[in-house]
Amino acid sequence: MTAFAARPEPEAALAMSSDTLLDLVLTSLDDDKAEDIVTIDLRSRSAMADYMVVCTGRSTRQVSAMAQKLLDRLKATFRLSARSEGKDVGDWVLIDTGDVVVHIFRPEVREFYQLEKMWQEPARPPVA
């Protein structure tokens, strides 16, 4: 009979809440030099997610690389395989983690769609 060494248990994934997920997303994007990062709190406005993050990369290569690194970090930290679209083209990448939706744009594409303006709080008229 051959003796086998016991396999070590895989490290437990960090407890995942929408806030810890958001922290990882923001740290990853900041580490990868994302520009103009905007976080929009959706908790009181939509059931689709708790947060939306919108940011810009300088080129299609940077946009795709930031998206891939974020996906890798989500998998390594939370064992989360998030859905993504647009990574092959690199103009606009959407990453849906469930609680946090991330949009990574090239500057021209972000300016064209102005996605975050749809979700920002409306300006309040001045009180006279």
d(CA 46, CA 59): 31
Q: Residue 86: is its pLDDT beyond 90?
A: yes
Q: Is residue 48 part of a domain?
A: yes
d(CA 31, CA 63): 13
Residues 6 or more apart whose CB falls under 8 angstroms from that of 81 comprise: 74, 75
Q: Is residue 94 part of a domain?
A: yes
Q: Is residue 110 part of a domain?
A: yes
Question: What is the crossing angle of helices 60-78 and 18-31, to 10°?
Answer: 140
Q: Which CATH number covers residue 110?
A: 3.30.460.10
Q: Is residue 59 part of a domain?
A: yes
More confident residue, 126 or 80: 80
Residues 80, 82, 83: CA angle, nearest 5 degrees: 160
pTM over 0.85: no
Q: Is residue 128 part of a domain?
A: no
pLDDT digits (tens, 9 = 90+) for 48-82: 899 999 999 999 999 999 999 999 999 999 999 99
Report the pLDDT averaged over residues 76-90. Answer: 93
Q: Is residue 111 part of a domain?
A: yes
Q: What integer pLDDT is reported at residue 46 of this predicted model?
A: 84
pLDDT digits (tens, 9 = 90+) for 16-49: 789 999 999 999 999 999 999 999 999 988 888 9
Domain enclosing residue 111, as ranges: 18-118
More confident residue, 45 or 125: 45
Q: Is residue 96 part of a domain?
A: yes
How many folded domains does the chain comprise?
1
Q: Which residues pair with 90 in a beta bridge?
A: none
Q: Is residue 2 part of a domain?
A: no
Q: Residue 94: is its pLDDT beyond 50?
A: yes
